[in-house]
Each structure stands twice: as C-alpha cells, then as structure tokens.
Structure 1
Amino acid sequence: MTRVGNFLINFIFTVFVSLQGFSQQKYWVLFKDKELNTKAAISDKCKENRRALGMQEIQPSDFPVSQKYIAQLSANGIATLNQSKWLNAISSYLTHSQIQYLHTLPFVQEIIPIDSKLIIAKTNANQMANDDLRVDYVMKQVGIEGFLQAGLNGKDITIGVIDAGYYGTSESPALGHLFSEQRILGVRDYINPKKTNHFDERETSSDFHGTEVLTAITGKSSNNKLQFGLATQAKFYLARTDTGGREFRGEEDNWVSAIEWLDSLGVRLVNTSLGYAKGFSNPKEDYKPIQMNGNTSTIAKAAKIATEQKGMIVVVSAGNEGDDRDWRIISTPADVEGVIAVGATNEAGLKMGYSSIGPDFLDYLKPNVSCFSLYGTSLAAPVITGFVACMLQANPRLTNQEVKDYLQKSASLYPFGNNYLGYGVPNAFKALALIQNPNKEPLEVQNHTKTISVHETDHQLEVEVKAGDVVSVFHKKTPFLVLSQDSHKVRNNTILLKRNAQVKHTTVVTRDEVIEVIWL
C-alpha cells in the first residue's frame, strides 16, 4: 500500500462536536492510505473527457477505498453505508464503543460526525404543471432566441441531477419526451437503494422537487409550443440523496457518493438545487455563517474536488435565506469558488428578497449569476444548467473555468458584479459570441459601460437615461458589497442620485448600459 500523505489532510472536517450523549450517530471514518495498485473506479468516458481537457487521466482520488479496511470493520460489527473514494472514507452509524475501537486502528485517520440540515427551496407542486408564462419569461430573459437560432438545445449533453426525489416525472406532460426518447440513462436512490419505482411512488412531501428541477432544465409542452427549459434534448442521470419536507435532516454522505458516481460515468455537468446551512439536531453543531467559506463543509470539499480536479461543471442554487436576518448568505456547496452559484431576480432585475447573498469575507464573488424565479433559487439554478448545456453543445471542449468565465462575461452587470446578483443575468447571444471568439471579446457581446467619478464636494448626480426605462440601482459600500437596491421608472430622462456617507459605489443598470458611479 502507498501512503496518500498530505492529500487527505485537505479533507478533514474542521468542526468537532462532543461525543457525549449520543448512543448511535452517523460518522465519516477517514482512512490514512489506499491501495493504489487496484483499478481506478472510473469509466472510459470519464477518461476520454479528461484527455480532451488536458487533465490527468487517472488520479489518486479515483482509486476505491481499501476493501481490506472495510472487511475488517465489518468483521467487528461496523457496517458501511456509503463509500467515498474522493475523501478515502466510509460513512457508518457508530456507538461510543465502536468509536473507541476505531481510534485504536493504525489505518484510521479521523472520525467525523455527520448531522446536518439540508434546505430545499420552497416550491409549489402544481406551478410547473401548467404552461406558466412566468416560466416563459425567464427563457426570454436569458435570450433563448440566441440558442434557438443556433439550433442549440442540449443535444448529446449528459446532465446529472442531484435532488430529493422525482415523483410524478413519468406522468408529467412536460417531461414525456425523456421517456419516449429514452433519455433518462440511470437513476440511483441513496435513500432507499432497493427502490425500483423511482417516478410513481411517493414517500415524502419533497419527492416532487427533483421533478420540478428537471422541468426547469429540459421541460417543454407536449405540442412543443412552450419551452420550460433550455436543454430539451439533453440526457440525464438522476440521483436522490435526501428525503423529508421543506426542511429536514440531510444526508451529506449521499451527496458525496452521488457526485462521485456521476464523475465515474463521465458526466461533466451537474445540477444540485440543495444546500446545507444551519439546523443541526444539536444547535451547537450548526454551521456558522463564517464557515460558508468554500473549505469547511464536507460537501464543499467534495464540490471543490469535482471542479478543481475532475473538471466538472457544478451548478448550485445560492439558497433562500436572504430574508433570514440571522443568516442571509449563501449555503454550502454554493460557497465553493469553482461552482456556479445561482441567485434569483425579480422582473425589475433586482434580487428577490429570499435569494441568498454572498458573504463579505470571501475574496471571490458569490453568487456568480442570477435569473428570474418566483419559486426559489432551486428553480433558477436549473435554468442556468440548461444554459450551460447549450454552451457545451456549441463547444464540448470548453473547460469548467471557460464556461464560468463566458457565462459571467455575457451577463447583464458585467464587469460590475455584486454579492446580490453576481454578474447578473446571462445572455445566450453574448455567450455564443464569446465561445466563437475565445481570444477577444467582440463589440457585440460587450456591455455598454460607463464609469463616473463624483468629486467629494458634489452631493448629488443626475444620470441621463431614456424616458420609460425601468432602471435598477445597487448602492454599495465597496465595489462588490451591496447595502441596498431599488428600481426607478424614468420619466424625465434622468434619475437623481444623492451622496450617502456609507455608499462608495452605485451601479445603475439601464436597458442599454451599465453605469458605475464612484463617490470620491
């Protein structure tokens, strides 16, 4: 056996809790080393993807967990629930005496509690069943015409969806094409592995959530006159990793297993409209806002491996805690730098109240982009996933960093992004122009921008805009951190901005340009 060395240290969970008072609880058991002379647990498609992207074809994290270790634990009454080759760990329910036994084993590196709450966006089970013009609005908002004119619809792109259930999928008129054209390639239920009827058997109130997410990625009406998602010709692998109502105890290890499964199949694009925040069974174990730093949670560590080492494109809902004064910020894994975190806008281009904001302690911007959604960021992220599928169809060799860069550069606020909306709403025409001209930014894709510096002796500024426009304004204490937002219906070709001691930057977004005001 070969030592993995410092590789494992990066994945140690930093939040420790007292073991007292728990008779049996779920834990990660991390091992010190691996058997690297075994076969890497990845598919030929996965290897092909990595070769095309210029990545290392086989990586240490691709090798499975040592079966000798698992067998030894099993012989001593410790059953394995999930295995993570990325973390070199298993999850298991452990008693206090079993934990003491594990501490005596020379190949066990760490034992980490798993007990967290997962937040699903609030959605209405009946909203997506109808031909809702508001859903049609978001398609127009992101410039669906750009993809339609180019004949892009996600064809030949495989998408992984990690969610809470797919009840009703087979009966949904908006998803009938997935079955008639056999474009659901596989399903894994990490909650009930023996389950075979994944679409027609309902176990909990949240089992329809993944169905709504699928509809927002790939849905269309049976007569093809209405399109709910951009990737209507994509293929799918589906994973169910959690169960319960709107707020419930999450199984973080299931998510890690699911993302590893999708990578092993060669799936590059993944949507996950789930996020971890606060709500542990013991309040002392809650995540703290400061821990939404892209490095603390186990799910963040797995998402970081997916994006940095495996070349995966992970699209994540930013979270729906924007109105929660005790939280407000994004949940994990939306905090990971490499993922594409998606917020929600209203029709005026402002942040929806519920949409979570980026923390002020990160040195990178979150969320990355945003789009319209009445029903939570859970239904904004799938729109962007469909958008990315069309980008990959246009050029399958795009790296995940190129996808994120082009997505952000095509968006409505670029380059004046903020922690409310990221770089704003992406545009299909602009994204395609960037893909076709990777070495320069054509004039037609550049936002018309202007920077105005206001001298410290001036207490107000009149900004010229077109009468009749609805203008969005973001008042910021730094170039990125928003203090407040508002919108104006322009009547006399100008809006008046007044100096505020706390406001150092103001972004004015009109139909034709983005204006950055700097208060000196």
Structure 2
Amino acid sequence: MKLRLYTAIMLLATLLGSRAQESKEQHYRIWFDDKGESACSIERPLEFLSPRAIAYREKFGIAIDSTDLPIAPARLQQLSALGARILAVSKWLNTATIALDDPSRLTAIEQLPFVERYDPLGSPTQAGGTVGPHLKKLENDSTSPYGDAAWQIAVHNGDRLHRAGFSGEGMTIAVIDGGFLNADRNPRFDQNQIAGYHDFIDETMDFRNGNSHGSSVLSTMLVNDSNLFIGTAPRASYWLLRSEDTATEYPTEEDYWAAALEYADSLGVDVVVSSLGYTRFDDSRFDHTWADLDGRTSFISQAAARGVAKGMLIVVSAGNEGSNDWKKITVPGDVDGLLTVGAITTERKPAYFTGCGPTADGRIKPDVVALGAAAATISPEGNLQPKDGTSFSTPIIAGLTACLRQALPQLSAREIIELIRQNSSQYLTPDSLMGYGIPDFYAAYRQGAGISTVRPDDSPLRLTYRGGSPVVTIGTLPPDEEKITLSIYTLEGAIMAEYRLPEGAELALTDLGKGIYLLSARSRQHCWTQKIQRL
C-alpha cells in the first residue's frame, strides 16, 4: 500500500533534508515560545490527523488541541534561510531539531523572536580525542535453528486468545525501530499486512542495505506460517517507522523517535511498539543519569508521556542493560501509563540482561515480562532464528495487546494496560525485575469481557505446620486444571522459590527462615494468595 501523506506532513517533508553522509555538523534542538500562526486549525483536524485518528479521539473523549497543530512552516523556513537543515520537528513539544555546518549561525537563530532556547546535541560523527566510541548494542544474534514460537505465545495463553477469534484483525500496529531489512520481500511476510512505512532519518526507506533489527521485531508479531510459527498478532496491519541510526548513538535519535510517535498518532494506530531505548551516547556529555528516569526529564520520555495523554497505547522495551553497570531500564521505559516489557527465560526467570526498575520516583518498572532469551524470530531471509533481548519480548507483548484491544474495543489504552497488569503472575507482589510478572491475556480478555473468570473462594491450598515449617498440600483443582504454579515471596515482593505442582502434591517449606511470607498459586485461569509463617 502506498504511503498516504496528509497536507501538513507534506508541507513539512519539503523542509526536511536527508542526512549528511560525512559531516561535522552540529545538531541543536530549538524550542519555540509558541506555535505561531499555523496554517491549520483545530476546527479542521483532517488537515493534520487521519479520519481514523479523529474517530479514536472522539470515541474516548480526547480533545484535539493546539498541541496537535503542526508548527508554522514559516518558522521552519526562517531556520532554513539561516543555514539550518531541519532534521525533525515535534508539534507536541514545540521543537525543531536542526543541523548546522557552521555553528556561528546559531547566534542569528537564537535571536529570532519566536526562539525560546536551544539544547546542543553534539554531532553524530565524532572526531578523535577525548570522546570515546560507543559500540551500538542491539541484540546478540544466533545462527542456530529454532523450532517455533509456541512457548512464547502459550506462556501468556495467547493461543487461547487466538482461538477465541482475536488475532489482531482490524488492528494497526506502528513499529518504531532502526531498520527493516528485506521487510518488503521476506518470504514469510504477507505484504498486504504492511500498511505503509516512513523513514525519519533518510529520505527513503532502505530495505536492501538497512539494519535487520526492526524486521526481526516485526516477525514476532506478523508471521502466520504454521510450518514455522505464528506470531502474536498475525492478522494485524503494520506501519514501519525508522527513527534509529544504528551506526551511532546520539541524542538527536530521541527527536527522530518523537517525530515517529507523532506520525503514528496522526495515523490513528491502535498500538505503538518500540524496542529502542537510550541511556548513554557516543559523546558522554549527553549521557542520561539514573535521576533522569522519572518519566519526564528526557526528551523522548516527554514525547512518550504526551502520547499517553493523547490516549496512545505504547509498548516499549526495558532495555538490555541489566548485565552492565547501568543496570536500570532505559528511556522512554520510565514513563507512567505506557507498558514497559522486560525479558524472561523459558524457566520463567528474569533474563540476565533485562533492565530493572524501579523508576527514579519509585514506580514499578518494568510492567510485565515475556520471553526474551532465545525468542523465536524470522531472519530477513525467511529462516527461523532465536534471538536474545527485550527487543523481542516487547513485540510479543505488543502483538497480544493488539489482540486484546480487538477483543475489548470499548476499553481505553490505560484500561487495557491495567487489565494486563491485573492478570499477571505477580500482580500482588510486583518487583523491580519482572514488574507485575507474566501476563495471561486470555484471563485478561475474560475479565474485561465480563465472562466469569473462576477465582473460587475455596482455595485448593491446604496449609498445615510440621515442626514449625509450613506444609502445603494441593487439594482438588478446578476442572481442566492439572497443575498450578506455587510461588513464595517475601513481604517486600522478592521471590524466594517457585514450584509446579499437580493435584495431591505435598510441599514442606523447611528451608524458609523465620518470618511471614506470601504464598501465591496460579493456574491457567485461576489464582489464590495467602500469608504463611515460618515459626
């Protein structure tokens, strides 16, 4: 399908230049004091929003306001006349990101009456000296074959959601990433499901020489081949949006990402998924700090927060920094109201690399987790390939989230996210590694649809004490249930142990130290929680 550009976007596109191939340009973020005289009006929203986006706003009572208006083209033209090359524009945050090959021109730009301030962003092409190189780390690839994606869907009861008739049909997912190598000709991709694409760095999307990261991300959702595997949203439509320069790491990429998010909003997509996150840059002067992880300090997080306020359902990765000295989640995963996804192994334990929380202001992050260690993906050539990273746990969740939106169209983005949290494995005892745990999307659907999800008062857990140690016996389980997962937590939410037990099993918890603990049991559709004490 050909890319549809709306009037305002077409005006902007004429001012955006392609990236310089080899340059010592300096990048700057220019903040405007107001929107100026926009050529568009909130009374005529079709000039800058699609009919689908307008219908979505009306459905959930989200106002179209001045922040939705494109920045006046005359302002961008004045910047260009002073030698600036326009790289990205944010109508929500009222900024333009520019490149200057002669930094002395900044003085004249700063004196323009509508310029409030500017932020220096450095250069993507760093000279030698005190600035050290930053090796871009996307994911570690493996060339070994991988069977199928059954486990990574079944652990969330996603297969049951599909069988209930919800595979993403009618849903549109925007994928913001760093490149989509061969996405237009991958033999496993149905091209009819790719609604369009846009590159926010270069003039055209390079499907022949671009990075493959976004293609792998897309494959976990899009592929519908029972001979290999079925993705988490195999009947959805997809927009491919490139905002990441995978050759370097520099702050301007946050501005490209913001522009891509605004573009996705103008399209009226149902879910945005992005496996990109930022902490440190090639030029360490621009590095983020832990204190920045408050959901409102970094530019990318400000943009994501504005997207949340406009009703967008945004799913982002927690990042792969858990095994290095950063440890924490990456931005924009710190934003309240979006879904931040960490990674687990097939043993349902946190992957060693998954970024951890909490946020700087003490909120639980990540929100949930999915398989990110040897997750099934499809290579650009159409072959099965396991890959590690929250980059792949994130689209697994995003695809199922789109299916849940299909099943529950009356719910807002925030209501969908809360429903996912409530039906996750450690909702009552969230922690900084797995958040609220492993979501059960079929249980979330049943709860959201008002179907009686059985959570019987009669717990199958039978508790006795033997020599001061609690002994748990698994009584009669509900119909169609063969085993339950039994987890032991401290009152602070740290997991002590986990077991899979059949009906009739007895477990003596003799290894517990003295104190009070939480006992959580969960089956495919049911959950029970109670306190126990080691005397």
Q: Could you state the TM-score of these two structures normalised by the residue count of structure 2?
A: 0.78
The residue type paired with residue 93 of structure 2 is L
Which deviates more, 260-269 or 297-306?
260-269
Q: Which residue number in structure 2 is paired with residue 271 of structure 1? A: 273
Q: Could you tell me whether the CA contact under 8 Å between 1:294 and 1:300 is conserved in 2?
A: yes
Per-residue CA distance 1:391-449 (angstroms, 9 max, x = gap) = 11112232111110111112111222222111111112211112212xxx944268998
User: Which of 233, 252, 273 is equivalent to 1:231?
Assistant: 233
Q: Residue 235 of structure 1: CA displacement?
A: 0.5
Q: Which residue number in structure 1 is paired with residue 311 of structure 2? A: 311
Q: Residue 159 of structure 1: CA displacement?
A: 0.5
Distance in structure 1 (CA, Å) of the matches to 2:459 and 2:72: 56
Change (3 A) 1:23 1:226: closer
Q: Which residue number in structure 2 is paired with residue 386 of structure 1? A: 399
Q: What are the ranges of 5 or more consecutive residues in structure 1 without an aligned counterpart?
A: 1-21, 453-458
Q: Residue 518 of structure 1: CA displacement?
A: 7.9
Q: Could you tell me whether the CA contact under 8 Å between 1:272 and 1:316 is conserved in 2?
A: yes
Q: Residue 226 of structure 1: CA displacement?
A: 4.5
Q: How does 1:223-372 map to 2 (within 5 A)?
A: 224-244=226-246, 248-249=249-250, 251-278=253-280, 280-308=281-309, 310-324=310-324, 326-359=325-358, 361-372=360-371
Change (3 A) 1:32 1:518: farther
Q: How does 1:18-417 map to 2 (within 5 A)?
A: 24-35=25-36, 38-39=39-40, 40=45, 41-56=48-63, 58-94=64-100, 95-114=102-121, 121-124=138-141, 126=143, 132-133=147-148, 135-175=149-189, 177=190, 179=191, 182-195=192-205, 198-199=206-207, 201-203=208-210, 207-221=211-225, 224-244=226-246, 248-249=249-250, 251-278=253-280, 280-308=281-309, 310-324=310-324, 326-359=325-358, 361-374=360-373, 375-417=388-430
Identity %: 28
Q: Which residue number in structure 1 is paired with residue 8 of structure 2? A: none
Distance in structure 2 (CA, Å) of the matches to 1:253 and 1:371: 28
Q: Could you tell me whether the CA contact under 8 Å between 2:461 and 2:473 is conserved in 1?
A: no
Per-residue CA distance 1:285-311 (angstroms, 9 max, x = gap) = 311112111111111001001011x21
Distance in structure 2 (CA, Å) of the matches to 1:144 and 1:489: 20
Q: Counterpart of 1:366 in 2: which secondary structure?
A: coil
Q: Which residue number in structure 1 is paired with residue 9 of structure 2? A: none
Change (3 A) 1:450 1:515: farther
Equivalent pairs counted in the alignment come to 466
The residue type paired with residue 498 of structure 1 is L
Distance in structure 1 (CA, Å) of the matches to 2:400 and 2:455: 16
Distance in structure 2 (CA, Å) of the matches to 1:275 and 1:227: 28
Q: Could you tell me whether the CA contact under 8 Å between 1:412 and 1:447 is conserved in 2?
A: no
The residue type paired with residue 259 of structure 2 is S
Q: Residue 333 of structure 1: CA displacement?
A: 0.5
Q: Could you state the TM-score of these two structures normalised by the residue count of structure 1?
A: 0.80
Q: Could you tell me whether the CA contact under 8 Å between 2:277 and 2:317 is conserved in 1?
A: yes
Q: Could you tell me whether the CA contact under 8 Å between 1:450 and 1:513 is conserved in 2?
A: no
2:482 is the alignment partner of 1:462: no
Q: Residue 343 of structure 1: CA displacement?
A: 0.9
Which deviates more, 140-149 or 37-46?
37-46
Per-residue CA distance 1:83-117 (angstroms, 9 max, x = gap) = 11111111112344223223322211120133598
Q: Residue 513 of structure 1: CA displacement?
A: 4.6
Distance in structure 2 (CA, Å) of the matches to 1:164 and 1:37: 31
Q: Which residue number in structure 1 is paired with residue 385 of structure 2? A: none
Per-residue CA distance 1:165-186 (angstroms, 9 max, x = gap) = 11132443432x2x1xx12111
User: Which of 454, 461, 465 is equivalent to 1:444?
Assistant: 454
Q: Counterpart of 2:86 in 1: which secondary structure?
A: coil
User: Which of 423, 430, 434 is equivalent to 2:447?
Assistant: 434
Q: Residue 379 of structure 1: CA displacement?
A: 0.5
Compute the RMSD of aligned alpha carbons.
3.3
Distance in structure 2 (CA, Å) of the matches to 1:427 and 1:257: 33
Q: Could you tell me whether the CA contact under 8 Å between 2:89 and 2:259 is conserved in 1?
A: yes
Q: Residue 473 of structure 1: CA displacement?
A: 4.5
Change (3 A) 1:504 1:335: farther
Change (3 A) 1:360 1:306: closer
Q: Could you tell me whether the CA contact under 8 Å between 1:462 and 1:495 is conserved in 2?
A: yes
